[in-house]
A and B are shown apart, each in its own frame.
Chain A
Amino acid sequence: SQQGEEDPQALSIQEGENATMNCSYKTSINNLQWYRQNSGRGLVHLILIRSNEREKHSGRLRVTLDTSKKSSSLLITASRAADTASYFCATDADDNDMRFGAGTRLTVKP
C-alpha cells in the first residue's frame, strides 16, 4: 500500500508566490525523498532528507522532516511557471522498497 500521502492533491498559485506541499507517512523510515514529474514524463529526483535530519535546502527548495509526526513538507519559493508539475514524496524504509504517495499537482500561473 502507499506509504506517503501528499496534501493538497492540487495547488494553484501565481508566479512569484511560495508553494507548500505536505507528505504524511505511516511507518518508520530511513529517508524521504521528493520527486517532480512533468506531464507525460518520468520522475526526477529533487531532494532527499534522512531520518536524522530536520531541514534541508537545495536552491529554491526547502524540505522539512518531523519524524515524531511522520510528516514532511516541501516548500518551493518564488515559484515559476516552469515549476508546474506533479510532486511526489517517496519513503524508504528497511525493506528497501520506495513507496510513493499519490502526488500534489502544482500549477503556477504566469
Chain B
Amino acid sequence: NAGVTQTPKFQVLKTGQSMTLQCAQDMNHEYMSWYRQDPGMGLRLIHYSVGAGITDQGEVPNGYNVSRSTTEDFPLRLLSAAPSQTSVYFCASSYGGGPEAFFGQGTRLTVV
C-alpha cells in the first residue's frame, strides 16, 4: 500500500522554467490537496480538489495550476518558476474531504 506518492523528491529549476510536480494516491480518496511549506510559516494550501474534474484555489494559488482528470492523480504545474516558489511541496489526500489527511514525502524545489 503506497499511500501518497510524490515525484520528484528534489528539483532545481531556473527562473522562467516550467515543470510539473506529480502526486498519486492509491487509497481511492476523493479529496486531494497541495501545500507549500516555508520556514516559520507552516503549511499553506495552494490548490485542492474534491473529486475528478473539480479543482479550487487555496490560500496561495498564484503561479500554480492543477488538474484532476482521475481520482488517483493530482499534478501541480509551475508555469514560469520564480525564486519565491522555492519551497517544500506536499501533496495530501483524504477520504471525503477529511478530516485525517495522508501526506506524501514532499518535493524540495529550488528555483535559481
Give the Cβ gap from A27 to chain B, nearest Cβ, in Å. Answer: 14
Supply 5 further A-B pairs (C-beta < 8 A) apart from A43-B90, A97-B45.
Answer: A40-B106, A41-B105, A42-B90, A45-B101, A96-B97
Contact B101 A102 (CB under 8 A): no
Give the Cβ gap from B38 to chain A, nearest Cβ, in Å. Answer: 9
* Given A42-B104, A97-B45, A102 contacting B99 (CB threshold 8 A): no
In the complex, how many residue pairs between chain A and chain B have their CB atoms under 8 Å apart?
59
Instruction: Mark out the residues of chain A between 47 and 105 whose CB falls within 8 Å of any chain B CB in the assembled complex.
Output: 48, 88, 90, 92, 96-103
Number of chain B residues whose Cβ lies closer than 8 Å to a Cβ of chain A:
26
Contact A97 B58 (CB under 8 A): yes
> Interface 1/0s, chain B 24-53, versus A by CB < 8 A?
000000010101000011111100101000
A20 touches B (CB below 8 Å): no
A92 to B31, CA, bound (A): 14
* Given A88-B42, A102-B42, A44 contacting B99 (CB threshold 8 A): no
Contact B43 A88 (CB under 8 A): yes
Give the Cβ gap from A11 to chain B, nearest Cβ, in Å. Answer: 16
* Given A97-B58, A101-B42, A102-B42, A33 contacting B100 (CB threshold 8 A): yes
A12 touches B (CB below 8 Å): no
